[in-house]
Amino acid sequence: MKRLLTGLKPTGELTLGNYIGAISPLVKLQEDKENEILLFVADLHALTVFQEPSLLRDRIKRFVAMYVACGVDPERTTIYIQSQNEYIPVISWILECNTYYGEASRMIQFKEKSKGKENFTVGLLTYPILMAADILYCDADYVPVGIDQNQHVEIARDIADRFNKRYGDTFKLPSSLITKQGTKIKDLKDPTKKMSKSEENPAGVISLFDDLNAIHKKIMGATTDSDNAVYFDEENKPGISNLLNIASIMSDRDVDDIANEYRNSGYGNFKRYCAEVTVNKIKSIQDRYNELIETGEIDKILKDGIEKSRLIAKEKCELVKERVGLI
């Protein structure tokens, strides 16, 4: 049995990038009965930048319902809210005291988010250490993430390894699991950067909650190059390659298969196909989401999930405290 764990941060609505990079690979991983999966809402991580409290509260629950609507099966996967597990921040603090300032400040995401800013929170710096606690408390073997989070899984592994050497075997060393599906999905208006929840220009970002006509329009309006041939070349044709990745996952077909079919039929026809398969997929997710919100199933799922997560974390927290000499 292998344990897999991943989380998503509720700083904005779930995007197509989150679905393709994290949720849909997880849904596939559920099929293997040898995998035990934990999935959570990383709400403490959301606080590294200011969130309007009422909006955040609402969004946390919507994330959970959206996970289930996307195909995460609560019978197979433990779903919980990070902040409801009080042991994780304790472990995180102890890990902070075993992490060097230099290694935390070298994280690409920290550098990007703090660049040019006079004021950013200390939480932005310690963010990967809380993430390490999320991963290490349950001895996760694998962490399915999109490629942008790979460095954070690596630092979790380094911290665990250092801790084990200093205090004796305590944590399992985790590895990230980046499936082919974990491809970084790019912004539709600027295909050189990742599609992100916190992006200010909504024309480049597809939210799983978007109106279906708006999704169609966003894909038809995606930035592409001026050559009219459809083929995969991330360096020279980032816009078309991004749409090929999206179309491939939304339709469950190979990129090459789609590229061969549309190679000479012009960008318009290819974009229309991409928009159609995306809209169909998101429509079925939204239908299921609306059903779930009405039934109140979510509260029960969360209650079961947090109980299980707390049980595992309590045991690890006690061990960690003992290892470092706390009473």
**Which residues make up the interface to ligand TYM (CB under 6 A)?**
5-9, 17-18, 20-22, 42, 45, 131, 134-135, 143, 145-146, 148-149, 152, 184-185, 194-195
Length of the chain: 327
- Comparing CB distances to ligand TYM, the nearer of 17 and 238 is 17
- Closest to 109 in 3D by CA, of 152, 167, 49: 152
Beta bridge partners of 35: 2
Nearer residue to ligand TYM within complex by CB, 179 or 251: 179
Of 9, 186, 189, 197, which is the active-site residue?
A: 197
Least Å distance, CB 326 to ligand TYM, is: 24
Q: Which is nearer to ligand TYM, 37 or 260 (by Cβ)?
A: 37
Q: What is the DSSP string of 171-211?
A: SPPPEEE--GGG-PPBPSS-TTSB--TT-S-GGG--BTTS-
Q: Which of helix, strand or coil describes residue 258?
A: helix
- Give the single-character DSSP code of 263: T
Per the DSSP assignment, residues forming a β-bridge with 266 are: none
CA angle 6, 37, 131 (to 5 degrees): 25
CB of 22 to ligand TYM, least distance (A): 4
Closest separation in Å from C-beta 90 to ligand TYM? 16
Beta bridge partners of 220: none
CA 258 to chain centre: 26
> What is the distance between the alpha carbons of residues 62 and 255, in angstroms, rounded to a whole number?
31
Could you tell me which residues come within 8 angstroms of residue 89 by beta carbon, excluding any fewer than 6 positions away? 44, 130, 133
Closest CB to ligand TYM among 136 and 292?
A: 136
Clarify whether 197 is annotated catalytic. yes
Q: Tell me the closest approach of the beta carbon of residue 70 to ligand TYM, in angstroms.
A: 12
Dig out the tokens for 296 from the structure.
């109140």
194 catalytically annotated: yes
Q: Tell me the DSSP string of 113-163.
A: HHTT-S---HHHHHHHHHHHHHHHTTT-SEEE--GGGHHHHHHHHHHHHHH
Per the residue annotation, which of 9, 186, 189, 194 is the catalytic one?
194
Rounded to whole angstroms, the Cα distance separating 251 from 257 reads 11
Minimal distance in Å, beta carbon 266 to ligand TYM?
A: 26
H or E segment to which residue 77 belongs: strand 77-81
- Residue closer to ligand TYM (CB basis): 202 or 322: 202
Q: How far is the CB of 162 from ligand TYM (least distance, A)?
A: 19
Catalytic residue among 113, 172, 184, 217: 113
Tell me whether residue 237 is one of the annotated catalytic residues: no
Comparison of 47 and 220: residue with beta carbon closer to ligand TYM: 47
Residues with active-site annotation: 113, 194, 197
